[in-house]
Structure 1
Amino acid sequence: MSIQVNNLNAWYGDFHAIRDINLDIKDKQVTALIGPSGCGKSTFIRTINRMHEVIEGARVTGEIIVDGQNIYDTNIDPVSVRHRIGMVFQKPNPFPTMSIYDNVIAGLRLNGTKDKKILDEKVETSLIQANLWDEVKDRLNKNAMGLSGGQQQRLCIARTLAVEPDVILMDEPTSALDPISTLRVEELVHSLKDKYTIIIVTHNMQQAARVSDKTAFFLNGELIEYDDTVKIFSNPKNQKTEDYITGRFG
């Protein structure tokens, strides 16, 4: 599902966090957001599933058009937006008192799904999609906190997939993981783009180059450059982009 961002601005109280963002995100591609800490990357993706506005004093102006409709129209339910646009956070956040099975289907149960056969099938298919099924199929009723950090993050991805979103947002999903777990999540991102539009925030330039089709460079709340990832990393148009990716600042 494509996303069109028009003149987007976001504030935390009086702080103007992102300014006049215009961006067309392509369907079934991976878009990486890069830039130094505090440049607005995480704020930007939180506007895409309307999580920014849950913070006291936060507000948004502009448009985000998803499937032909502005998700900030007054008649749009933010909860329905978050069902269609899933979020994977920086640190794995499985529900600590729940089993692996119950973690995967938490969203489905919240939506009112009770049929055991449907839930069983969704657990298996979501864990297979998240490349976790073979590792956990014999302990689905065990507490999710018994998994490793990398497994917990893939479980959170499976939980996101279970509600069948159109878009998956990932806010530095591997920053808390070891190199092997990071590689597995990157492989997972690559495999999922056949079905989903994925936006990933990362501080890792090599990761952005490996996993994404498009890259957007943010600086001081502004979108400096947006292009094919290969072009951004080999021949950026803006000097600020080149300075950042070559390590001159950030």
Structure 2
Amino acid sequence: MPTPLPPTRTTGPARIDVVGLTASYHGRPAVADVNLRITPHQVTALIGPSGSGKSTLLRCMNGIHLTVPGAAVTGKVLLDDTDIYTGGTNPVEIRQRVGMVFQRPTPFPTMSVRDNVLAGLHLGRRLGRGGHDDLVEQALTRAELWQEVKDRLDTPGGRLSGGQQQRLCIARALAVEPEVLLMDEPCSALGPSSTLAIEDLIKDIKQTYTVVIVTHNLQQAARVADTTAFLTMTGAGEPGRLIEVGPTEHIFSTPRQQATEDYITGKAG
């Protein structure tokens, strides 16, 4: 088995530090022995073949993995040096600080655009009535959707296009002011123009947030990510393992592991 290489360390604290993490379903590990540092204000892409544990690893970063029956975690996920899996942590607070955007747009279809944005406030700060409109505009602006929907705030979220619905979900996540945004294949259900809009958004919001994205699209990882982590299985029925992580340009041009090069060049995966 290739020996995983340590992540490239940069100055400043890690927003998320994954230490010796193994995540399983009904006793069967999906991803094992992961050590990964997520640097603040960067985009980190998780790439690798299907079944390598990318989405499982992502969901471990805010505890959502444990909402699945039979799921378990060993190891640590440190959020600013606090292990989110210790008994004293509040899962609601963790998910406020570490937001999630899923593969398919998940707006509340009959709820208005405005109310979709405000729906997450029960997890975060509460505002007086006068602050709601400002928050809606701010969140939709950050999600690069305000100009398209500012005259349709009472329109049900389900009536927006697929790309608009995904940006609405991003606005809903941003409304509670998370520190980290996890994105699980956010463009897989979208067309090319909507995909480019989401990619532009990802590159923009890293100035304020820390972003971790799972993607099967290697070109997308190359376009948006500062750091790329490659996971793969070492054999049939084996859990996914972190093989290599580093600056995206190095992963795609001069990977240090043969398994990484084989996946990047299409020889494996």
Q: TM-score range by the shorter chain?
A: over 0.9
Q: Which position in structure 2 is the counterpart of 1:243?
A: 262
Identity %: 56
TM-score normalised by L of structure 2 = 0.91
Number of equivalences: 250
Structure 1 residue runs of 5 or longer lacking an equivalent are none
> What residue is the counterpart of 1:158 in the other structure?
171
Q: Does the 8 Å contact 1:113/1:119 carry over to 2?
A: no
CA distance in structure 1 between the aligned counterparts of 2:28 and 2:185, rounded to whole angstroms:
23
Amino acid across the alignment from 1:200 = I
Partner of 2:8: none
Taking a change above 3 Å as real, the CA distance of residues 112 and 192 of structure 1, as seen in their structure-2 partners, is closer
Post-superposition Cα deviations, 1:15-48, rounded to whole Å, max 9, x if no partner, equal 1111100011101000000001110000001000
Report if the CA contact (8 A) 2:125-2:176 is conserved.
Answer: no
Structure 2 distance, partners of 1:230, 1:112, is 39
Aligned position for 1:222: 241
**Alignment correspondent of 1:115:** 128
For structure 2, which runs of at least 5 residues remain unmatched after alignment? 1-13, 234-239
Conserved 8 A contact 1:87-1:160:
yes
SS in 2 for 1:27: coil
2:107 aligned with 1:94, yes or no? yes
Deviation at 1:96, TM superposition (A): 1.4
What is the CA-CA distance between 1:73 and the residue it aligns to?
A: 1.1
Q: 2-side partners of 1:112 and 1:189: how far apart?
A: 24
Give the distance between the partners of 1:110 and 1:19, measured in 2 at CA.
31
**Residues 228, 114 of structure 1: alpha-carbon distance in 2 compared, 3 angstrom cutoff:** closer
| Separation in 2, partners of 1:249, 1:111 | 43
Query: SS of the counterpart of 1:159?
Result: helix
User: Could you tell me which residue of structure 1 aligns to residue 87 of structure 2?
Assistant: 74
**CA offset at residue 119 of structure 1?**
1.1
C-alpha separation between the residues in 2 aligned to 1:179 and 1:44? 27
Aligned residues of 1:215 and 1:232 also touching (Cα < 8 A): yes
Secondary structure of the equivalent of 2:152?
Answer: coil
Q: For 1:180-238, what per-residue CA distance to the aligned partner results, in whole angstroms no more than 9, with x for missing partners?
A: 00000000000000000000000000000000000000002100000000000000000
Q: Report the Cα offset of residue 110 of structure 1.
A: 5.3
Distance across 2 between alignment mates of 1:115 and 1:71 = 31
Secondary structure at the residue paired with 1:33? strand
Note if 1:195 corresponds to 2:237: no
